[in-house]
Amino acid sequence: MSVVKVIALGGVGEIGKNCTVVEQDDDIVVIDCGLAFPNEEMLGVDIVIPDFTYLVENKHRVRGVFLTHAHEDHVGGLPYLLEKIKVPVFCTEFTATLIRSKLEEKLPKDRIDLRIIKQGDKTEVGSLSVEAIRVTHSIPENSSMAVSTKHGIVLFTGDFKFDFTPVDGKLANITRFGELGREGVLLLLSDSTNVDRPGWGPSERRVTEGLRKVMVEATGRVLLTTFASNIHRMQQVYEVAAELGRKVAVVGRRMEQNLDICERMGYIKIPKGTRIRLDEFKYYPDEQIVILTTGSQGEPLSALVQMSKGEYGRMQIKSGDTLIYSARPIPGNESAIWRTINRLFEQGCRVVYDSATPIHVSGHAYQEELKMMVNLTKPYYVAPVHGEPRHQYLYRQIVTEMGFPEHRIHTLSDGVPLCLDETSTYFEDQVACGAVLVDNSGQPGVTKEILRDRYNIANEGMIALTIAINRAKGELVGEPILQSKGLHGPEGLLDKVSEVLNDALNNLSKEELRDISKVRHEASDVVRRMIQKRANLRPLVVPTVVEV
Ligand SMILES: [Zn+2]
Ligand SMILES: [Zn+2]
């Protein structure tokens, strides 16, 4: 009897790096391939991607990657997967447009095989078929994905909310969700990010009122920061600005790029004469200017952060400016965001980050919307995804209240296959999975040992020892040289350490001195113990033995 397996390689028990495998017989499809942001312990790490070992080992069976939408937590890992396996990527035109340039920056052209699908289309991939269904979120052409298997439909809600007044007027295809319910949804993998919010989330449309209110009150220039992919938000900014007689300029490379593409393709409609270039500011009074900028997450190189430090060449913050913070901090970025906001206040810029009329709404379903999805699709099994353990727990509670028996609610863990056959479900042993860390080098695989060293250097400094040895004679040449960086201890610490090290080395026999690794080991041991004893520090010790 054939078994359908669902394996999350990321995105369950955590928010970020969404990547889920659905497999049946010889066929595998992957839904999304995202990245996550590092936590504060991952020093120097820029992004976190899933471990793709399972997909590499089974690459002959992988028929395609399907992308629900163009947010980084769903597409950001893709270049790293495509580097390892060649596989077609299926997505809507808008998603393709947004990711194409990013893929081309990292990969040779022949590794990129983007295939455009339309919402409503069914794509046959081996024995599986995948249908994209339109659903609302904070980005255009966002899809749920229905994977048809032998035992029924495995339905990924993807990131969603039910917004009946979306900015682009494109409603979720609720009818189709209802039909799927009739056809037989075996398993619903539901967004659970906002499961702790009761009621029904506000429509993106409400932000229009919030933006209008702040812009009417502002007497000088208005700056607004949001995610570079938040096309709907930008659309609203243009509309409100046009209504109030303000012109809009954009700073930040990714935002400009996205706006150009979206305007060209008709995803955003800019009222005539509203968009200006940054260098056209001088022709308008401050109260007629709006600036859209990147940097909502406090990214060090973003335009907004540089402006807050007075280091942005193209424009300066001035007293009387108002910044609208129209985004939600991604966990881990809070302190960088507050630092930026505080610097802006210091420069005389008023920052609006909270308001009775919303200036930002979430793109994720609240409790009643989550229930609505369950009610429409009538799944046999449910499993919350796109959430941390607390979200998984609350989702379980909510569907229990809806009458789901225990055995039909699954709490998934990364890498643990959920197996579904005709009559039952069970879990198999965990496959390779985990967090692969990528730093500025772009090379995935920053290890635990590297992080530990970085942590030690950052907190306690480092000390380098250089020891010269005449191996033929089996004796020391001169005294060892000690150099330290970032080490702070009692006065004379290094001299004392140097003395003790010298004594220790002089106590070694000729035979021992010929053994380079023994010398290295002994030296760092002595130094480490000495510094621990005298200064209660554990710096990174790097011994070098030179043969002369
Ligand atoms: Zn999203
Ligand atoms: Zn997401």
Residue spans per domain, the chain: 4-199+362-439, 206-352, 448-547
Would you call 60 helix, strand, or coil by DSSP?
A: helix
Instruction: Give the domain 4-199+362-439 fold.
Output: Metallo-beta-lactamase; Chain A (3.60.15)
Q: Are 265 and 116 a contacting pair, CB within 8 Å? A: no
Q: Could you give the CA distance from residue 339 to residue 360 in angstroms, rounded to a whole number?
A: 20
Distance 159 CA to ligand 2 centre (A): 5
Distance 47 CA to ligand 1 centre (A): 17
Per-residue pLDDT of the chain (548 residues; tens, 9 = 90+): 689 999 999 999 998 999 999 999 999 999 999 999 888 888 888 899 999 999 999 999 999 999 999 999 999 999 999 999 999 999 999 999 999 988 999 999 999 999 999 999 999 999 999 999 999 999 999 999 999 999 999 999 999 999 999 999 999 999 999 999 999 999 999 999 999 999 999 999 999 999 999 999 999 999 999 999 999 999 999 999 999 999 999 999 889 999 999 999 999 999 999 999 989 988 999 999 999 999 999 998 899 999 999 999 999 999 999 999 999 988 778 999 999 999 999 999 999 998 889 999 999 999 999 999 999 999 999 999 999 999 999 999 999 999 999 999 999 999 999 999 988 999 999 999 999 999 988 899 999 899 998 988 988 999 999 999 998 888 999 999 999 999 988 888 989 999 999 999 999 999 998 998 999 999 999 999 999 999 899 999 999 999 98
**Residue 448 DSSP one-character state:** H
Measured from the alpha carbon of residue 18, the closest ligand is: 2
CATH class of the domain at 448-547: alpha beta
Active site residue 495: no
Distance 33 CA to ligand 1 centre (A): 12
Q: Could you give the CA distance from residue 192 to residue 371 in angstroms, rounded to a whole number?
A: 11
The contacts of residue 97 (CB under 8 Å, 6+ apart) are 261, 265
Measured from the alpha carbon of residue 161, the closest ligand is: 1
Measured from the alpha carbon of residue 74, the closest ligand is: 2
Would you call 111 helix, strand, or coil by DSSP?
A: helix
**Residue 409 DSSP one-character state:** B
Active site residue 439: no
Distance 491 CA to ligand 2 centre (A): 52
Return the CA Rg of the chain. 28
Distance 301 CA to ligand 2 centre (A): 23
Measured from the alpha carbon of residue 385, the closest ligand is: 2
Measured from the alpha carbon of residue 32, the closest ligand is: 2
Distance 397 CA to ligand 1 centre (A): 24
108 dihedral zone (left: phi>0; alpha: psi -120 to 50; beta)? beta
Catalytic residue among 51, 73, 163, 191: 191
Distance 71 CA to ligand 2 centre (A): 6
Q: Could you give the CA distance from residue 222 to residue 292 in angstroms, rounded to a whole number?
A: 9
Catalytic residue among 71, 364, 386, 391: 364
Distance 195 CA to ligand 2 centre (A): 14
Distance 94 CA to ligand 2 centre (A): 17
Q: Are 7 and 41 a contacting pair, CB within 8 Å? A: no
Helix (H) or strand (E) holding 344: helix 334-346
In sequence order, what DSSP letters do the residues of 303-326 get, joined into one string? HHHHHHTT--TT----TT-EEEE-
Distance 32 CA to ligand 2 centre (A): 10
Measured from the alpha carbon of residue 19, the closest ligand is: 2
Judge whether 206-352 and 448-547 match in fold. Answer: no
The contacts of residue 264 (CB under 8 Å, 6+ apart) are none
Enter the CATH code of domain 206-352: 3.40.50.10710
Distance 74 CA to ligand 2 centre (A): 6
Tell if the pTM clears 0.85, that is, is over it.
yes
